[in-house]
Amino acid sequence: MVKVGVLKMGAIGTALLVEYLLDERADRGDIEVRVVTSGAKMQPEEAVVAEKLKEFDPDVVIVISPNAALPGPKAAREAFEGKPVIVISDAPAKKAKEEFEQKGFGYILINADSMIGARREFLDPTEMALFNSDVVKVLAATGAFRIVQEELDRVIEAVKKGETPELPKIVISAQKAVKAGNFQNPYAKAKAMAAYFIAEKVADIDVKGCFIERDPEKYIPLVASAHEMMRVAALLADQAREIEKSNDTVYRTPHSKEGEILKKFELMGKPE
């Protein structure tokens, strides 16, 4: 039984689902999962939750947050130095790649898990949820979440076998996402890439809307257009999957009870 500890600080799309990606039908017998989070905030003082997670004595630690280059997430991961720690974060975290490498942290940085349009005139809980719904659609349908699944499973597998796991060092680009998406139709693949590229670009617009423009007349249209982009990216990623459905070639990778990754294409077929 591998103990997987997950520490979440603040919200990115991947954070919503990361623990379920490991055990989508809640029937896996080889892992025990514990997640702690202090909610939406990610100040250094939130890193106290790391203490709670330590009591669980995890074999593998996942620290997931927006912009892992910030002090809060940094403090959190450093609390687990010495353990296999995997940082999951978004594009701005690329600034900290060197630090990750130096300290031996694994990392999965997801370019398309873009920043939300966090302006009070625009973002309420409903809009926040809708944006995350779209982000999740993009990351799942393009294949990005499968990389997260595969990399975490690989590390867990190594720990299970008593080996020192090789931690992931991966920045998920459109190309890498769709490779994991394993699209059988090349236009489905192209649409998925397009969705991913659009989702990536959202971050630029939202950064401008949240941190650069100060006039509501300017920043409201910016953040609103960024969310329209994510919405259209979600629709496009969905369309890519619909093509695979129309050919009965959707690639699926369910976990077995023992935590292996099974594979299948035909809907009516058996995963193997």
How far apart are alpha carbons 271 and 221 in whole angstroms?
A: 46
CB-nearer residue toward a second copy: 20 or 163:
20
Only one residue has tokens 């055990």, namely: 23
How far apart are alpha carbons 178 and 63 in whole angstroms?
A: 24
Q: Does 25 bind a second copy (CB under 8 A)?
A: yes
129: Cβ–Cβ under 8 A, 6 or more apart, which residues? Answer: none
Q: Which of 253, 259, 260, 265 binds a second copy (CB under 8 A)?
A: 253
Footprint of a second copy on 197-216 (CB under 8 A): 197-198, 201, 205, 216
Q: Does 171 bind a second copy (CB under 8 A)?
A: no
Q: Which of 38, 89, 114, 173 binds a second copy (CB under 8 A)?
A: 38
Q: Does 178 bind a second copy (CB under 8 A)?
A: yes
List, in sequence order, the alpha helices (H) in the chain: 13-21, 49-55, 71-78, 97-103, 125-142, 144-160, 174-181, 186-207, 216-246
Q: Does 41 bind a second copy (CB under 8 A)?
A: yes
Q: What is the signed CA dihedral for 239, 241, 245, 247, rounded to 10 degrees?
A: 90
* Whether the Cβ atoms of residue 207 and residue 119 lie closer than 8 Å to each other: no
What is the SS3 string spanning 36-92? EECCCCCCHHHHHHHHHHHHCCCCEEEEECCCCCCHHHHHHHHCCECECEEEEEEHH
Q: Does 55 bind a second copy (CB under 8 A)?
A: yes
Footprint of a second copy on 218-237 (CB under 8 A): 218, 220-222, 224-229, 231-232, 234-236
Q: Which of 88, 109, 115, 140 binds a second copy (CB under 8 A)?
A: 140
Q: By CB under 8 A, which span of 76-84, 102-110, 156-164, 190-198 interacts with a second copy? A: 190-198
Footprint of a second copy on 66-85 (CB under 8 A): none
Q: Which of 139, 167, 177, 203 binds a second copy (CB under 8 A)?
A: 139
260: Cβ–Cβ under 8 A, 6 or more apart, which residues? Answer: none
Q: Does 272 bind a second copy (CB under 8 A)?
A: no
- Min separation Cβ 241 and a second copy, Å: 8
Lay out the site mask for a second copy across 100-129 (x = CB under 8 A, - = otherwise). ------------------xxxxxxxxxxxx
How big is the site for a second copy, counted in residues (CB under 8 A)?
110
Residue 217: both structure tokens together:
């007349």
Q: Does 267 bind a second copy (CB under 8 A)?
A: yes
User: How many C-beta atoms lie closer than 10 Å to residue 71's C-beta?
Assistant: 12
